[in-house]
Amino acid sequence: MKALHKTVVLVPTYNEHENVEYIIEAISQNLPDASILIIDDNSPDGTGEKVQELQKQNKNVELLSRPGKEGLGRAYQDGFRAVLRDPGVEHVIMMDADGSHAAEYLPTLVKESERVNLVIGSRYVKGGGIEEWEPWRYALSKYGNIYARVLTGLPVQDLTAGFMCFRADLLRKIDLDKINASGYAFQIELKFYSIRHAGAAVCEVPIVFRSRRGGESKISRHIIREGLTTPWRILGKRVSGI
C-alpha cells in the first residue's frame, strides 16, 4: 500500500458492485484529499474487480482484498491495522458502502475531530433521523440502542452508529484483538474500548441515515443475536473492572 493521506476513509464491502462506484465518487467530491480504502471480502458479485477498475481513474483509492466473508468487525480490524502502519495518518473514518451514510457529512466529521478524538454521526440526537425504514427495523434500532446504553453505561445516544471519525492516535491506544464482535455489535464494542480504555473525548453530530441505494441488507439472525449478547459481555467487563 502506498503512502496514505492524513485522512483515510475505510469502506468494507461484500457484494456492493451496485454501490461502490457511487460511494467512491461521493467521498472524493466531499474529501478530495482523503485516501479511500475499500476492504472487500472476495465479493462474488465482482466488487473487488470493480474497485480495481476505479483505481485507474482515482489515485486515492486503495483495495484491501480478504479471502472470504468474515464479518464487518474483522474487516474493520484489518483495515485499521493496515492504515495505522502509516505514521502520517491522522484521521480514520468508518463508513458504509451502500449510500446510507451521506458523504456530505464527511467534512463536518473531520472538522469536529479537531476538538475531540471520536466523532459519531448520530441518528438519535437533535437534528438526526432515519429515512424510509420499515417500522420493525426502526424499532429494533431505537430500542436496541436504549438497551445497549443501559447495559454498557456509555454516554452515547447512537451506540450502533457505524459512521465515525477517529483521530488515529486514539485508535493506536486500542487493543483491537480484544474486540470479539463480528457484526454490527462491533460498533458497540469499539466505542466501549475507545471510551473506557482509551479515554476518548466524544461528540455526536446529527445525520439523516438514508435507505440503501441497491443490493441486499446484511442484517441476519446472527447479527441480531450478537447485538443482544454483546452489551451483556460489556456489562460483565464493567463489573469486573476489565
For the chain, the structural domain boundaries read: 7-240
pLDDT of residue 241: 67
CA dihedral 191, 26, 107, 146 (to 10 degrees): -30
pLDDT of residue 234: 84
The residue type found at 236 is G
- Centre a 10 Å sphere on the Cβ of residue 239 and count the other Cβ atoms it contains: 8
Query: What are the beta bridge partners of residue 202?
Result: 118
CA dihedral 32, 37, 42, 44 (to 10 degrees): -20
pLDDT tens string, the chain, 242 residues long: the values are 777 899 999 999 999 999 999 999 999 999 999 999 999 999 999 999 999 999 999 999 999 999 988 889 999 999 999 999 999 999 999 999 999 999 999 999 999 999 999 999 999 999 999 998 888 888 888 888 999 999 999 999 999 999 999 999 999 999 999 998 877 789 999 999 999 999 999 999 999 998 777 656 556 565 667 777 888 888 777 767 66
- Are 227 and 185 within 8 A, CB to CB? yes
DSSP annotation of 124 reads: S
Which grid coordinates belong to 187?
A: 460498533
Closest to 140 measured CA to CA, from 128, 148, 131: 148
Give the predicted TM-score (pTM) of the model.
0.92
The residue type found at 63 is L
C-alpha distance from residue 18 to each of 4, 22, 25, 46, 111 (Å): 26, 8, 13, 10, 30
pLDDT of residue 25: 97
**Cell match 427495523: residue?**
137
CATH classification for the domain delimited by 7-240, as one of 3.90.550.10, 3.10.20.30, 3.50.50.60, 3.40.50.720 = 3.90.550.10
Beta strand pairing status for 118-122 and 129-130? unpaired
Q: State whether residue 123 is helix, strand or coil.
A: coil
